[in-house]
Structure 1
């Protein structure tokens, strides 16, 4: 993956998500927000061995599992660091979570 910035809009079930990805040689920063760009809960993962290590920077009331899975999956794929922040207007259901994961990972693995 080349360094630089990439933006993707994901529309799913009457919701619109803006995904900003900032690529570096050793990792990535991802911001996911609904309707307008906002910073929210934040996690960071580093893949330095067989299992990624994750730390919470800004705690979340919900969606922690989704953010943790996404951050760890990306850091493992890149063999580096992944910082993820997200702001959602309401909780994500299972199908929306799967769709976001699928779309974001598809963008990264291409």
Structure 2
């Protein structure tokens, strides 16, 4: 396990699975249909790979781990993965960053949200 301070860590998989383990004793399988967002503001240890890191809007917030189930549809529609709480997404990111996902079909154009 490795330690984090003042990080927001989004674990989001396109293919395959990844095991998340942390110092609170949580163990959860992350997959294309299950995402995770971890706020490691004060000393927090976890073990995994393939994550997106950002800094929260303020230092030394309480640590938290969020998991969200999702459906994957190849219809070309954008899906909110993680955003600030004001925008009401499955995972609340403590930063002014929005993370979207789209699964389209080959040869079909997709417009930005």
Q: State the TM-score, normalized to the length of structure 1.
A: 0.28
TM-score, length basis structure 2: 0.28
Answer with 1 or 2: which has the greater Rg: 2
**Structure with more helix by fraction:** 1
